Amino acid sequence: KAGVTQTPRYLIKTRGQQVTLSCSPISGHRSVSWYQQTPGQGLQFLFEYFSETQRNKGNFPGRFSGRQFSNSRSEMNVSTLELGDSALYLCASSLGAGEIKGGYTFGSGTRLTVV
Amino acid sequence: SQQGEEDPQALSIQEGENATMNCSYKTSINNLQWYRQNSGRGLVHLILIRSNEREKHSGRLRVTLDTSKKSSSLLITASRAADTASYFCATASIYNFNKFYFGSGTKLNVKP
């Protein structure tokens, strides 16, 4: 079965712009989580969506937002980009109903560079 | 913060040797998981151990969990050059097992 697909793989944006990243989870998975990975902060939890609802949220400013569609695909948006937003953004999917039995399945990530 | 901390931050060994990485966390957990990441790519799930389990094996991997010490260890036996990667532990709280906290990772280098 197809894995978790993130698009695009690489992105270069200018400060002040906004960006939208996309994630298609494994078929049948209803939970999609987003993480930001930077060398200094490691893997930071952004938010989790389940059945089109944001179920969990991390400690990021309101410039970071997301949504999930009825087919479980998810997008995250970052507005008014800052240099510090340069990072690898990872999407992870799971069944999401109750306890996670097999862990997350991660996509390959989107490498965002803000210049 | 519940975030786990791995120890050591970096580990360099020869092929064939065993590699041990440790993870400590702060609050009560539902489960703890280990992931591998190759060169800034996505993470690959290796093994999940529940809070009521003490040890788990998967191929050359052995994970232990000591909830009284709030720590876990990952042992890779007979390491190979292909094991070179960063390894992360992730914890899920007993209050919210759909939100994972990742540690800072151990960078393992296995020299051929």
pLDDT tens digits, B59-95: 999 999 999 999 999 999 999 999 999 999 999 888 8
Comparing B39 with A90, which gets the higher pLDDT? A90
Q: Which of B30, B98, B102 sits opposite A56 (nearest CB)?
A: B98
What's the confidence (pLDDT) of residue B75? Answer: 98
* Residue B72, strand partner residues: B23, B65
Calpha distance B93→B69 (Å, rounded): 16
Mean pLDDT over all residues of chain B?
Answer: 92
What's the confidence (pLDDT) of residue A100? Answer: 62
With beta carbons less than 8 A apart as the criterion, state whether A5 and A23 touch.
yes
Which of B45, B46, B97 has the highest number of chain A CBs within 10 A, making it the mutation to test binding with A? Answer: B45
Comparing B52 with B99, which gets the higher pLDDT? B52
What's the confidence (pLDDT) of residue A75? Answer: 98
Query: In the structure, what pLDDT confidence band is assigned to residue B96 with cuts at 50, 70 and 90?
Result: confident
From A103, A49, A89, select the one nearest A71 (Cα to Cα). Answer: A49
What's the confidence (pLDDT) of residue B1? Answer: 46
Q: With 0-12 CB in 10 A as exposed, 13-18 as middle and 19+ as buried, what is A71?
A: exposed
Residues A55, B98: C-beta atoms closer than 8 Å = yes
User: Is the pLDDT confidence value at B2 over 60?
Assistant: no
Residue A58: how many other CB atoms lie within 10 Å: 16
What's the confidence (pLDDT) of residue A78? Answer: 98
| Greatest Cα-to-Cα distance within chain B, rounded to the nearest angstrom | 44
Comparing B8 with B41, which gets the higher pLDDT? B8
With beta carbons less than 8 A apart as the criterion, state whether A11 and A114 touch.
no
Residues A100, B35: C-beta atoms closer than 8 Å = no
Contacts of B86 (CB under 8 A, 6+ apart): B36, B37, B38, B105, B106, B107, B108
What's the confidence (pLDDT) of residue A85? Answer: 97
Grouped pLDDT means (10 residues each) for chain A, 115 residues: 90 98 94 92 92 92 97 97 97 76 86 97
Tell me if chain B has a CB within 8 Å of the CB of A90.
Answer: yes
Residues A4, B35: C-beta atoms closer than 8 Å = no
What's the confidence (pLDDT) of residue A94? Answer: 87
